[in-house]
Structure 1
Amino acid sequence: MKLVTRAGWGARPSRYDLAYIASTKGTKVHYEGTYVPKGLADPGAHGSCAGHVRDIQASHLANTKENYSDIAYSALVCPHGTVFEGRGQHRQTGANGDQALNKAHYAVCAMLGDSGLVVPTDAMLDGLVDAIGWLRNGGSAGAEVLGHRDGYATACPGDPLYAWVKAGAKRPDGTAPQGGTSTPVPSVGGIARYQVVINGLSYGFGAKGSHVTEVGKALVKAGYGKHYRVGPSEEWTDADTRNFSDFQQSLGFEGTAPHQDADGVPGPVSLQRLLGHLPGKEVKASVVPPFPGRSAFVLGKSHPAVTTLDGGLVRKGYTRHHAGAKYEPGPLFSENCRRNVADFQRATPALAGDPDGYPGPLTWQLLLS
């Protein structure tokens, strides 16, 4: 479990003492219910997640209607699977709807929206299960796992996440918070025995194919083959997992238990580092047109490059600012366009230092690629 404490993400103090709660019936799963940029789920965007939690806390403390004493949730989970401590264990939540509902269940919020980022990542689902387990082990949460809409009239936590809750709130490999599993071969002895799919190809215990052999040969070539008795084969075994774990640790990844960063099951980053490419379905790289110059983006003026810019905003989901029913691409560089660009810049670590909404060469390249 990757846990960031309140001090770790820079929480502001509670407005007043939070109510103690000895135990709950279980946990309710929430989403933000507003626009969340798709870019927050990018592999390089994890550095923005703590700031995203601070923004949520600030919005809750500023909500005079609800008069929250703190961030409303017990915990929050980002698209990268990290659990951020909210009110925490043995503290009554403020998110479930009323006092009775808040006493009955903790509240875990996934950083998903009703637009933009709406589908949970596999890492997020892992993190949600981690958060539920954390509240059970340290906060005496009961066995129930429900959606916010269970018992309260709301769309929360959104249809994709609610479907996951109703299906048993399981990890992507089938392991549920209750400890059950739907996989034929569970993890044993601390060895990860689950699979991931990268570019349409499976990796992890039991995966088969020439791509598995390719990984094994690359591990041996890189000096990480000591766990093989004979050599790589077309079926992924525990030896492949142990060797890949050694390689992941050489990259600086930490945690060798199942579902941690160095557990021996590849992710796109470690696989790319080992092979120099990602096998599977080939994705054509987009051709980014030349940057037209800053003079193309003058507030209140039109330029054909703005239509191209708008296309990137729409494709990546940065369209929450609009004048009509939805954001409409066009040649006018409007205030809504500028604000949408600023959202993209804030969500992109390389641009977050100066999110003024005016495209420069790097903003243009990253938005359109």
Structure 2
Amino acid sequence: MQFVSRSAWGARPSRYALAYIGSTRGVKVHYEGSPVPAALARPENHGQCAGRVRDIQASHLANRDEDYSDIAYNAMVCPHGYVYEGRGAHRKTGANGNQSLNQAHYAVCAMVGDSGLTNPTDAQLNGVRDAIEWLRSSGGAGSEIKGHRDGYATSCPGGPLYAWVQRGAPRPGGGSGGGGGTPPTGGLARYTVTINGLVYGYGAHGDHVTAVGKALVAKKFGRHYSEGPGPTWTDSDTENYADYQKSLGLSGSDADGVPGESSLKQLLGYLPGGTSAKPAPPFPGADKFGPGSNNAYVTALGNQLVKKGYGSHYTEGPGPRWGEADRLNVRDFQLSRAELRGDPDGIPGPTTWRLLFS
């Protein structure tokens, strides 16, 4: 399971203590029920997912009509298959409709909506299944898997996701168990590793991925490519890398197609990454930001926000004209840092700029 803890995604503290729950009858599956940009599913946009979870938590904490104590879900799952810890295991959800429904089932929400991204990806379905297995093993969840609409008048979790639930929530390609780094028997590894600051494995993206693919082809381990290696890690990369690992005498989980440091260094002759961080560029001044601003500094700010995982409010990407999306993304970043939480106005000052670019 590709698990992202509360601290890793930058969760704010609960408003008050979450109610303990020893066990449930099972898990109910949810969707966001509002527009989700289709572009969020692109591998290069995974950096926006943590910011989206922070936004959802912030909206729930601000909803005093419902009086949420925290994000309503026990877990959220992004289109890339990562499971974000919400309230977590052994914590009663606030998402199923009323106290008795919340007591009966945990709640797992997939980042799909009623427009834009409406069909869950295969990685996402695997992630939802991972979350269910986690809540079973760590939270006492029973065997039931239902949709939010089962027992409550709502369209959630949407047509495509609910159809999957009604089929028994199978993992794509067959099977219903598993999770974790090793996929179900006969499946392909769908987790990632970070080596020397660079990510490898399914969904990873960058020139370093292309370099691995080219090196595999050069060593005659490219038979699974249909179009040749590219910058996004696919199942073909995994299969080719597994063939290479087996040629080194590796087996089992050591030959699952996801690089280890030793095999990667043998393949390339060196380990990419590990460059020292550049110092933050000089702060250009507060007058470069805010309503009416239109300059290259706004673009640089937006690009860095996306890089840091705080770009969830952009619908078309950063640009030179300051907009409300820039302010909201800066605010989210400020809320994630103890030094900035006292005045999260969404306008960068020298400290915000330095921390963002560090």
Q: TM-score, normalised by structure 2?
A: 0.58
What does the per-residue CA deviation read over 1:306-362, in whole Å, with 9 as the maximum and x for residues that have no partner?
xxxxxxxxxxxxxxxxxxxxxxxxxxxxxxxxxxxx7424xx4xx38976389xxxx
2:258 is aligned with 1:262 = yes
Structure 1: how far apart are the matches of 2:67 and 2:4? 25
For 2:162, the equivalent position in structure 1 comes to 162
Partners of 2:155 and 2:321 lie apart in 1 by 35
| Structure 1 spans left out of the alignment, 5+ residues | 180-185, 196-216, 226-230, 235-239, 249-254, 264-298, 300-341, 359-369
Q: Residue 94 of structure 1: CA displacement?
A: 0.2
How far apart are residue 222 of structure 1 and its match? 2.5
Which whole-Å CA distance do the structure 1 matches of 2:128 and 2:178 have between them? 13
Aligned to 2:218: 222
Deviation of 1:43 after TM superposition, in Å, equals: 1.2
* AA matched with 1:356: G
Amino acid in the other structure paired with 1:89: A
Counting matched residue pairs gives 237
RMSD: 4.0
- Secondary structure at the aligned position of 2:133 is classed as helix
Residue 242 of structure 2 corresponds to residue 245 of structure 1: yes
Residues 152-210 of structure 1 show CA distances to partners (whole Å, capped at 9, x for unaligned) of: 0000000100000001101111111499xxxxxx954xx63699xxxxxxxxxxxxxxx
Partner of 1:49: 49
Preserved CA contact (<8 Å) 1:224 1:243: no
Tell me if structure 2 keeps the 8 A contact 1:224–1:244.
no
Q: Supply the distance in 2 between the matched residues of 1:110 and 1:160 (Cα, whole angstroms).
A: 12
The corresponding residue for 1:356 is 323
- The alpha carbon displacement at 1:64 in A equals 1.5
Matched residue, 2:133: 133
Match of 2:187 among 163, 186, 192: 192
Match of 2:23 in 1: 23
Distance 1:75 1:101 in 2: 17
Q: State the distance in 1 between where 2:257 and 2:94 align.
A: 32
Distance across 2 between alignment mates of 1:73 and 1:232: 43
Larger radius of gyration: 1
Kept in 2: contact 1:32–1:113 (CA 8 A): yes
CA contact (8 A) 2:241 2:257 kept: no
| Structure 1 partner of 2:38 | 38
**Once the 2 structures are TM-superposed, how far is the Cα of residue 256 of structure 1 from its aligned partner?**
5.3
Residue aligning to 2:67:
67
Pair 1:56–1:220, CA change in 2 (3 A): closer
Corresponding residue for residue 93 of structure 2: 93
Deviation at 1:245, TM superposition (A): 2.9
Residues of 1 paired with 2:47 and 2:142: CA distance? 33
2:177 and 2:184 in contact (8 A); partners too: no
Q: 1:143 to 1:45 in 2, by over 3 A?
A: same
Residues 353 and 52 of structure 1, relative CA distance in 2, 3 Å threshold? farther
Q: CA deviation at 1:233?
A: 9.6
C-alpha distance in 2 between matches for 1:70 and 1:52: 15
**C-alpha distance 140-31 of structure 1, shift in aligned 2 (>3 A):** same
Q: Secondary structure at the match of 1:119?
A: coil
Ranges in structure 2 where 5+ consecutive residues have no aligned partner: 191-212, 226-236, 246-251, 260-291, 293-312, 326-358
What's the CA shift for 1:84? 0.1
Contact 1:173 1:194 in 2 (8 A): no
Q: Give the 3 Å change call, closer, same or farther, for CA 354–18 of structure 1 in structure 2.
A: farther
- Structure 1 residues 352, 120: closer, same or farther in 2, change over 3 A? farther
